[in-house]
Structure 1
């Protein structure tokens, strides 16, 4: 349950202001909300299942070095904070892909999200969490966290037609990553 709650919160925060959210908003302006949400959910579940698999393998390989993994994860979260602060932008190519209607909307959305998430900070954060927490709770929680964050963007894109305040999201997400990173480093170093 702890892995589920932690990964839901961390991935939700990581997704705020991410280019995937921008893609969700763009898709929601052209497709039904249900189709966008379903495409995102399937793609996210697949990417995050692979992520927790990678994280679980890494975690099992270094089971006797959990404090080292915690410190490395803490520094990874500090890198995520820097990445979040720098921000993501939706390129013109990604925006045009989001607007293109080739085949079923759900498939197009799912493929676009799958490709966008490979190597993204939410995938890396999920791998990092899975090195320390149970894979099932991390997988379900990280998938739920991302879908919830993207669902907000879908609602904004479909109903309100405007963006969330980027600066506030960027500051909040950056601070959350810093807090998680520092706590992991402090825990790994045995200072708690």
Structure 2
């Protein structure tokens, strides 16, 4: 079980953090505009893999540069900040709704990659890569979490999103990040 810890923690944390996130709204917008779920699903996968691989690499590099004590408190504090950030509902920025008219796959790939820059799940990916090894499990887990949270929105559309208890989901995600912060503060990063 401990050999899959990075994969399981990364999947669970990102799945919870994505509920109600702007990327779910983006998935809904893309599904409504293009009505082609498979190219949208592939676009989400490609964009997330690239974005989260770069983020995980950055997290691993940060972990190498910092002393274990400093890294411990930075990661714990960052998880606490992400927990608080998770409580804030997201909304699509007006600028992000103007999608290129080149096709569902390209539009999804570009839009999801850009939407993830600086997003809480990208920050969480950096943090988990600084905390967990092997790195491929963090990348696979955060990508899987994005897919678990976003693909149902693509296929089930507006009806699914209207029935989702977003406040409860954000609260559970915040609690998960708070627990991660406490775990790292108590046990350290290594």
* TM-score when normalising by structure 2: 0.88
The answer for the alignment partner of 1:14 in structure 2 is: 17
Residues 52 and 139, structure 1, Cα contact 8 Å, conserved in 2: yes
**Aligned counterparts of 2:161 and 2:123: Cα–Cα separation in 1:** 30
The answer for the alignment partner of 1:116 in structure 2 is: 115
The answer for the alignment partner of 1:57 in structure 2 is: 61
The answer for the alignment partner of 2:170 in structure 1 is: 170
**Aligned counterparts of 1:163 and 1:81: Cα–Cα separation in 2:** 23
Residues 75 and 127, structure 2, Cα contact 8 Å, conserved in 1: yes
**Aligned counterparts of 1:74 and 1:36: Cα–Cα separation in 2:** 35
Q: How many residues align?
A: 184
Matches within 5 A, 1:17-166: 17-31=20-34, 32-62=36-66, 65-95=67-97, 97=98, 100=99, 102-133=101-132, 134-157=134-157, 160=160, 162=162, 164-166=164-166
Query: Offset at 1:159?
Result: 6.0
Deviations 1:97-138 (A, max 9, x none): 2xx461121001110011111111111110111112221111
**Aligned counterparts of 2:129 and 2:159: Cα–Cα separation in 1:** 35
Residues 67 and 187, structure 1, Cα contact 8 Å, conserved in 2: no
* TM-score when normalising by structure 1: 0.87
Residues 56 and 130, structure 1, Cα contact 8 Å, conserved in 2: yes
RMSD of the alignment, in Å? 2.0
Distance 1:118 1:163, change over 3 A: farther
**Structure 2 residues not aligned, in runs of 5+:** none
